[in-house]
Amino acid sequence: MRTYSTTMTRFKTAQVSVQPNPVSGANGKDVTVKSSVTLPGNANPVAVDYVLNKGDKGWKIYNVSVEGASLVTVYRNSFNEEIRKNGVDGLIKLLQDKNAAPAPAAASAAKGKG
């Protein structure tokens, strides 16, 4: 979650355009909401699609694709590579270490206070 939130803070001043009429999935419970994100100083918008699933408690985003690259697929491939190299225990340790590390913004703020 921290990785997503850290990435999203870079887009505070971006212009987001959400297209109407989400595309329904074959199972009737999924929809894809298409959008484009334009960053200041960059004329070319970036395609960002959100895949949502309707569950008992409402809609939840479960995948985000940027320019066609699925974050779920990217993370799955990364996790599989770590498992191949260091096993499941290695993946768990890697994730624990990443979660224990200070967030980049917190680390920068801490450096300025020293």
Model-wide pTM > 0.85: no
Question: Does 112 reside within a domain?
Answer: no
Which pLDDT tens digit goes with each residue over 41-82?
888 999 999 999 999 999 999 999 999 999 999 999 999 999
Please give the residue range of the domain that contains residue 58. 2-107
Question: Does 32 reside within a domain?
Answer: yes
Q: Cβ(94)–Cβ(84) under 8 Å?
A: no
**pLDDT at residue 113, rounded to an integer:** 46
Question: Does 113 reside within a domain?
Answer: no
Distance of alpha carbon 61 from alpha carbon 53, whole angstroms: 6
Question: Does 114 reside within a domain?
Answer: no
Question: Does 35 reside within a domain?
Answer: yes
Q: What is the DSSP letter of 102?
A: P
Assign residue 28 the CATH number of its domain.
3.10.450.710
Which pLDDT tens digit goes with each residue over 75-105?
999 999 999 999 999 999 999 998 888 876 5
Could you give the number of structural domains in the chain? 1
